[in-house]
Each structure stands twice: as C-alpha cells, then as structure tokens.
Amino acid sequence: MPPCTVVFYSEDGKTAPVLDWLDALPPRVLDKITVRIERLAQLGHDLHRPEADTLRDGIHELRARFGTINYRVLYFFHRRTATAAILAHGLTKEDRVPDRDIDLAVRRKARFEADPDAHTYQEPLPEEEGASP
C-alpha cells in the first residue's frame, strides 16, 4: 500500500476537534498517539491490531494505551481516494468505544464526503511581518 495522507476533520475549516483533543493530552500520551498517526501515514489500510482496528460504518480506530487508560482516535478513509485518512474524533475509553462516539465519527464522515474542502483543516498561515491589516 502506498503512504497515506493524514487529514484532520474540521467543522468550519479553521479548527480541528482531534487537534484540540490532542492539545489537552499529557505529553507522554501525545507522543504515543503521534507515533500511531505516523504509522497510519506510512501504512494506511495495512495498519492493523494492536495499533488500529475497524469499528463499523467505515470507521476505524487508532489505539493507544497509557497506564490503565485507553486512548482512541477515530478515523475513516476518504471514499474517492483511499490514500487519505481523515482523523475525525478523539476519546478515552474504559471498555468498548461508545456508540455515541462512533455515531459522531459517522456524522463527520458524511459531512466530509459531502464537501471535503469545507471540512478539511487548514493550518493557519503566519501573518507576514510588517503587513498591514
């Protein structure tokens, strides 16, 4: 499988729920999840347990554990190009991934597929020095 482009889902094109979730994690947990995201970029569909798994309705999970806490990033592959993985939702869990979290990822998948440009997070450009408003 060729490398996979990792894209962050955005509600408004300016913010990404998964990035906000990642920003709130302890540094050591963030490091583990960052490695999982890098592995997803390298392997795409070929990433399997224990690092990733398939849930339902085209939703997959990146899996990380730190201590007794399970961290998950829910993602899907864009149907028009199987080489893009869209990170849709981040969560912690104890047992199974709750249906409400999978349902949220499914809704985000539908929104993304209806208008990928509107729901792709774009890193803000730094303002040029000396530029007038």
Please give the CATH architecture assigned to the domain spanning 5-119: 2-Layer Sandwich (3.30)
Report how far residue 133's alpha carbon sits from residue 124's, in angstroms, rounded to the nearest whole number: 16
pLDDT in tens, 60-108: 999 999 988 999 999 999 865 567 999 999 999 888 899 999 999 999 9
Per-chain mean pLDDT for the chain = 88
Helix, strand or coil for residue 56?
A: coil
Q: What distances in angstroms separate CA 131 from CA 12, 14, 123, 124, 125, one per listed residue?
A: 26, 21, 19, 16, 13
Q: Please give the pLDDT value at position 127.
A: 60
pTM confidence score: 0.88
pLDDT category, 1, cuts 50, 70, 90? Answer: low
